[in-house]
Amino acid sequence: MIRYPVQIYPVKRVGKLLYLNAAITGWNDDIALLRLLIDTGASYTVLPSPPLRTLGYDIENADKHRQIITASGIVNAPLVHVKCFNCLGIQLQNHPILIYDLPSTKQFDGILGMDFLAANRVSISTSDAEVYRPVT
């Protein structure tokens, strides 16, 4: 049971999966809108490379990488800091994002992982297709 004031955000459902919208800003101030699968089994937030390249991010020359386990095995994914990541009304400047192109799907562009969910104390109601975050 949630015992503090929260902001409620309805999310979309595809079968048993939940997703929401997010936005990233490029260094040129252009914005890309993305649909992110809410994945409590993912340690990191993961975005695909095409919109990041369009926004001017240099993925090939990323200074840092993180190993992630995918259905295809272990992958060394580039980590970039985006100018602004906007999700659930939270705007994070210089936010780290892993870059990995998920298998093609029309429902989702990327994954919203536990790095974001836990840091922002997000709670999820799968039965109501809603997420809650504390009001600050």
4 pLDDT above the threshold of 80: no
Instruction: Kindly state the tokens that stand for 86.
Output: 């906007």
The pLDDT value recorded for residue 1 is 55
108 pLDDT above the threshold of 70: yes
Q: Cα-flanking dihedrals φ and ψ of residue 49, to 5°?
A: -70, -35
Strand partners, 87: 22, 90
State whether residue 53 is helix, strand or coil. Answer: helix
Could you tell me if residue 10 is inside a domain?
Answer: no
Strand partners, 36: 20, 110
Count other Cβ atoms within 10 Å, centred on residue 98. 24
72 pLDDT above the threshold of 90: no
> In this structure, what is the dihedral angle of CA atoms 91, 44, 59, 33, given to the nearest 10 degrees?
-40
Give the C-alpha separation, 109 to 78, whole Å: 17
Could you tell me if residue 108 is inside a domain?
Answer: yes
Could you tell me if residue 9 is inside a domain?
Answer: no
Question: Total structural domains in the chain?
Answer: 1
Could you tell me if residue 93 is inside a domain?
Answer: yes
Could you tell me if residue 12 is inside a domain?
Answer: no
Which domain CATH number covers 59? 2.40.70.10
Q: What is the pTM of this model?
A: 0.91
pLDDT in tens, 112-129: 999 999 999 999 999 999
Give the C-alpha separation, 60 to 35, whole Å: 24
Q: Which domain holds residue 85?
A: 18-124
Q: Which amino acid type is present at position 31?
A: I
Could you tell me if residue 6 is inside a domain?
Answer: no
Could you tell me if residue 105 is inside a domain?
Answer: yes
Cα–Cα distance list, 64 to 67, 86, 124 (Å): 10, 22, 31
Identify the residue with better confidence: 106 or 80.
80
Could you tell me if residue 64 is inside a domain?
Answer: yes
64 pLDDT above the threshold of 60: yes
The pLDDT value recorded for residue 7 is 93
In this prediction, what percent of the chain has a pLDDT beyond 70? 98
pLDDT in tens, 6-54: 899 999 999 999 999 999 999 889 999 999 999 999 999 999 999 999 9
